[in-house]
């Protein structure tokens, strides 16, 4: 290893780092339809294409065992990967799960984790087909790979948004981020006074959003039933601003987002105010909601306007117009990509 230069991994950020490491390596196999850069890779098998996505969850970075039940963790580890497959407009069919864990974890702990993994498999109708279980010197690492299928003409990439397309968002945003802030606050309270017992019953929705998120297979099913294929799509794992940036950058377009089109749950509204935060900032920059951001051709608007839980929130503009937020107060603000940066965690 070169001793002369040392660049901190934080310097590039996660996306910059991946780009830096993987640029200039063209795909060589005919079956490698699409590589790095979308929610999932696409492998050609003839009529149907195979879609593959992988994610790693690390104790102390992505989850805190002091408030994360293992069953929920197993469930979530699967769901975040399935969300990537749905974001390609594909159906997940199989997963593999690799786990490294220290001897602090017992077989019973692993059983809880697998109960959650299988609960997600049951709910989303996927098969656990492989994996690796090994020890780690410290903590728990879970790596999940999800494999799905879709017809070639149904797969939706990030790079297909066109000027004039409508920007749509499923569900509500910011709740998972506020749930996490709440759990972190209650943890600190508990650490300073072990007799304090957190009461989160009034914030059940926020806590569930962070600990046991769901992926929007119902929306993908809705697209199929309505006979509509979005022009671009991404799942909202790093916050709306960051995901909209990915779509605009890869599609070479700008965008206009209407604050009033971004749905925020009443509990999230209240909690944001309690934390003296702006709710729209939580929606734009908070992560882990696992909703979908997609664009559709305006001619398809009648097909999706009666689908539940979909909000039209903006329009795709020329690239030169940048990415802007139109606030409820009537102001225009440029939106900056501000996703979660785990390297700064």
* Interface of this chain with its own copies, residues 90 to 119, rule: CB under 8 A: 93-94, 96, 98-101, 103, 105-112, 114, 118
Instruction: Quote the least distance from Cβ 87 to its own copies, whole Å.
Output: 13
Q: What are phi and psi of 207, to 5 degrees?
A: -65, -40
Of the residues 77, 82, 120, 121, which one makes contact with its own copies according to CB under 8 A:
121
Of the residues 82, 87, 120, 126, which one makes contact with its own copies according to CB under 8 A:
126
In terms of Cα–Cα distance, which of 47, 22, 23, 21 is closest to 33? Answer: 47
Instruction: Quote the least distance from Cβ 7 to its own copies, whole Å.
Output: 4
Establish if 85 lies at the interface with its own copies (CB under 8 A).
no
Name the one residue in this structure whose structure tokens are 């992926």.
215
Instruction: Quote the least distance from Cβ 50 to its own copies, whole Å.
Output: 6
Q: How far apart are CA 141 and CA 145, in angstroms?
A: 13
Name the one residue in this structure whose structure tokens are 């963790």.
73
Closer CB to its own copies, 151 or 332, in the complex: 151
Establish if 151 lies at the interface with its own copies (CB under 8 A).
no
Contact 319, 252 (CB under 8 A): yes
The two tokens of residue 20 are: 């830096």
Binding residues among 154-183 for its own copies as defined by CB under 8 A: none
Binding residues among 33-52 for its own copies as defined by CB under 8 A: 34-36, 40-41, 43, 45-48, 50, 52
Q: Which stretch binds its own copies (CB under 8 A): 122-130, 248-256, 261-269, 329-337?
A: 122-130
Polymer length of the chain: 345
Pairing of strands 310-317, 166-170: antiparallel
Closer CB to its own copies, 171 or 213, in the complex: 213
Pairing of strands 140-151, 254-258: unpaired
Establish if 153 lies at the interface with its own copies (CB under 8 A).
no
Closer CB to its own copies, 29 or 320, in the complex: 29
Instruction: Quote the least distance from Cβ 96 to its own copies, whole Å.
Output: 5
Of the residues 11, 189, 196, 332, which one makes contact with its own copies according to CB under 8 A:
11
Q: Which stretch binds its own copies (CB under 8 A): 28-36, 281-289, 306-314, 323-331?
A: 28-36
Q: How far apart are CA 332 and CA 317, in angstroms?
A: 14
HEC string for 224-270: HHHCCCCCEEEEECCCHHHHHHHHHHHHCCEEEEEHHHCCCCHHHHH
Instruction: Quote the least distance from Cβ 199 to its own copies, whole Å.
Output: 21
CA dihedral (254, 41, 152, 76) positive or negative? negative
């Amino acid at each position: 290893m070169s001793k002369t230069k040392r660049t901190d991994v934080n310097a590039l950020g996660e996306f910059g780092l991946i780009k830096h490491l993987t640029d200039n390596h063209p795909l060589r196999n005919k079956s490698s339809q699409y590589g790095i850069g979308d929610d999932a890779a696409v492998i050609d098998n003839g009529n149907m294409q195979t879609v593959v996505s992988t994610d790693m969850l690390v104790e102390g970075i992505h989850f805190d065992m002091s408030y994360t039940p293992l069953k929920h963790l197993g469930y979530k580890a699967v769901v975040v990967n399935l969300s990537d497959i749905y974001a390609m407009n594909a159906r997940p069919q199989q997963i593999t799960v690799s786990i490294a864990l220290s001897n602090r974890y017992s077989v019973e702990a692993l059983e809880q984790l697998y109960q959650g993994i299988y609960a997600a498999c049951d709910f989303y109708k996927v098969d656990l087909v492989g994996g690796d279980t090994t020890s780690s010197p410290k903590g728990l690492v879970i790596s999940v790979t999800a494999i799905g299928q879709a017809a070639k003409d149904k797969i939706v990439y990030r790079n297909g948004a066109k000027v004039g397309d409508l920007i749509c968002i499923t569900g509500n945003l910011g709740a998972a981020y506020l749930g996490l802030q709440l759990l972190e606050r209650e943890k600190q309270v508990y650490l300073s006074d072990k007799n304090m017992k957190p009461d989160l019953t009034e914030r059940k929705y926020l806590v569930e959003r962070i600990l046991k998120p769901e992926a929007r297979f119902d929306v993908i099913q809705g697209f199929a039933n309505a006979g509509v294929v979005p022009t671009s799509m991404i799942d909202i794992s790093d916050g709306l601003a960051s995901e909209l940036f990915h779509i605009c950058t890869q599609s070479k377009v700008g965008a206009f987002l209407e604050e009033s089109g971004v749905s925020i749950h009443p509990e999230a509204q209240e909690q944001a105010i309690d934390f003296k935060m702006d709710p729209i900032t939580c929606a734009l920059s908070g992560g882990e909601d696992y909703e979908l951001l997609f664009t559709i051709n305006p001619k398809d608007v009648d097909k999706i306007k009666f689908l539940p839980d979909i909000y039209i929130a903006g329009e795709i503009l020329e690239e030169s117009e940048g990415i802007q937020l139109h606030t409820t107060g009537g102001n225009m603000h440029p939106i900056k990509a501000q996703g979660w940066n785990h390297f700064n965690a």
